Amino acid sequence: MLVFKHEVLLAFVGRLNHDREFCEWFAAQPSRALASHGLVRRDLQDLAAILRTDRHQQEIAAALEPAVQVLLDLDEDAEDAGRGSTPEERLARLDAELRAVRDRLAVARTRRRPWWKFW
């Protein structure tokens, strides 16, 4: 089941990266966009916890964790009826984070340890 969730999370994030209409939907209705992939807020919370404790690829995990936190924040913000931001503001924040995570990942990949430094 855990491997299945990883695949679903990867498909979800991939769709956020490559499908503009899906991004707009997520910004407007995050919980419904998550549900379209069989995910719930708890799955993102679990992913964030895993990324915070990852010891094997710390640089990559550190680059990804803020993006997952933004997804959680956007979901929470959308559920805060009337007091949260507008879908347009959430979409702008999502777009900015997707660009930022690409940059952070590019830097993290250049800092990877050589294979022989396993400690």
Residue 10 exposed, middle or buried by CB count within 10 Å (0-12, 13-18, 19+): exposed
- pLDDT per position as a tens digit, 65-112: 999 999 999 999 998 866 778 999 999 999 999 999 999 999 988 876
* Tokens linked to 60: 């990559």
Q: Tell me the C-alpha to C-alpha distance, in Å, between residue 36 and each of 13, 51, 99.
A: 13, 23, 24
Q: Does residue 65 contact residue 41 with C-beta atoms inside 8 Å?
A: no
pTM, entire model: 0.85
